[in-house]
Structure 1
Amino acid sequence: MEVPKDLTSYVRVLKLASTPSTEEFSQVSLVAGAGIMLVGFLGFVIFVIMTFMPGGI
């Protein structure tokens, strides 16, 4: 494993990276928020099912 070769690849990736536009950032955060809400809702549904039907699942 050569350190200089690894460092040049990291620098190349950092040069290609750019900050997202406001529209792109808001779209990504909206999708991530929707995913978090979906996982939370599924957890809540499982909690309710297990509370009212302890031996159901």
Structure 2
Amino acid sequence: MDVPYDITSYVRVLKLASTPSWQEFSQIAKIAGAGILLVGLLGFLIFVIMIPITGGL
């Protein structure tokens, strides 16, 4: 593990990183929110389907 090389690579990545614009951020937030809602809905549907199979809560 070459520590000076690791630090320079981290610095290089930080220099390339930039703050997203408001439009880019809002689009990413919408997509992430839709994904969270989709996973939650899928889990709820599996829960509703399993209630009759297992005989209740």
**Fold in common (TM above 0.5):** yes
Report the aligned-residue RMSD.
1.1
Which residue number in structure 1 is paired with residue 51 of structure 2?
A: 51
Question: Which runs of 5 or more residues in structure 2 are unaligned?
Answer: none
Equivalent position SS for 1:50: helix
Which residue number in structure 2 is paired with residue 20 of structure 1?
A: 20
Structure 1 segments (4+ residues) deviating >3 Å: none
Q: Distance in 2 between matches of 1:39 and 1:51?
A: 19
Q: What TM-score results when the alignment is normalised by the length of structure 2?
A: 0.90
Q: Distance in 1 between matches of 2:34 and 2:53?
A: 28
Percent of residue pairs identical: 71
Aligned-residue offset at 1:3: 0.5
Q: What TM-score results when the alignment is normalised by the length of structure 1?
A: 0.90
Counterparts in 2 of 1:4-15, with a 5 A limit? 4-15=4-15
Which residue number in structure 1 is paired with residue 29 of structure 2?
A: 29
- Aligned residue pairs total 55
Q: Distance in 2 between matches of 1:43 and 1:15?
A: 40
Aligned-residue offset at 1:2: 1.0
